[in-house]
Amino acid sequence: MTNFRIGSGFDVHQLQEGEELILGGVKIPHTKGTVAHSDGDVLIHAICDALLGALALGDIGKHFPDTSAQYKGIDSTILLKKCCQLIAEKGYQISNLDTTLVLEKPKIKDHVPQMCQTLANVMNIATDAVSIKATTNEKMGFIGRQEGVVAYASVLVYKPE
C-alpha cells in the first residue's frame, strides 16, 4: 500500500517600495517588493511549509530561522531544495503542488509559466504537477491596499511501495 501525506502551507509578507518582488523563484517587475530576512519569496515559503508539514517536520522557521545570519538574503529556491531533500530522506516523493497567490498588483499571469518551470526544476517534478493560481482581495484589507501579499500551498507526497 502506498503511503500518502498531504501538507498545507501559508505565508504572508509586507510589500514596500524599493524592495524586489520574487515569486516562485522569478523576479517580477514591480514598484514594490517583499520585506523579509531572506529574498521574501512568499510562494516558496508557503510551499516549504506544506512540504515540511506533510511529514510533520515542523515549519520553515524551525529549519531556517530568520534570526540566523546564514539565511539573510538567501535565495528561497535553496530553502525549497533543502526541504525537498528532507522529503526524499524520509523516502517520499512529491506527487503534485497546488498554490494560490493573493495580491492586487502586479498581475502575474504572464509570469506563471516561468514560475511553474522554476519550481518544477527545483522540486524535480513535472511542470504539469505544479499549479499556480492568483487572485485579488477585491481591494479589501492590507492586500487590497497593496501593503502585503499572501500565498497558500497544498502538496501531496507519497512513499512508493
| CATH code for the domain defined by 3-159 | 3.30.1330.50
User: What pLDDT is recorded for position 44?
Assistant: 98
User: What pLDDT is recorded for position 58?
Assistant: 95
User: What pLDDT is recorded for position 78?
Assistant: 94
User: What pLDDT is recorded for position 64?
Assistant: 87
DSSP state at residue 158: E
Please indicate whether residue 88 or residue 64 has the higher confidence score (pLDDT): 88
Mean pLDDT (whole number) for 75-82:
95
Residue pLDDT, tens place only, 19-63: 999 999 999 999 999 998 889 999 999 999 999 999 999 999 898
Q: Are 76 and 115 in contact (CB under 8 A)?
A: no
CA distances from 113 to 46, 78, 142 (A): 19, 20, 27
Q: pTM of whole model > 0.85?
A: yes
User: What pLDDT is recorded for position 70?
Assistant: 81
Residue pLDDT, tens place only, 142-154: 999 999 999 999 9
Query: What is the rounded CA–CA span in Å between residue 5 and residue 95?
Result: 10
Q: Is residue 2's pLDDT more than 90?
A: no
Q: Is residue 1's pLDDT more than 60?
A: no
Residue pLDDT, tens place only, 87-122: 999 999 999 999 999 999 999 999 999 999 999 999
User: What pLDDT is recorded for position 117?
Assistant: 98
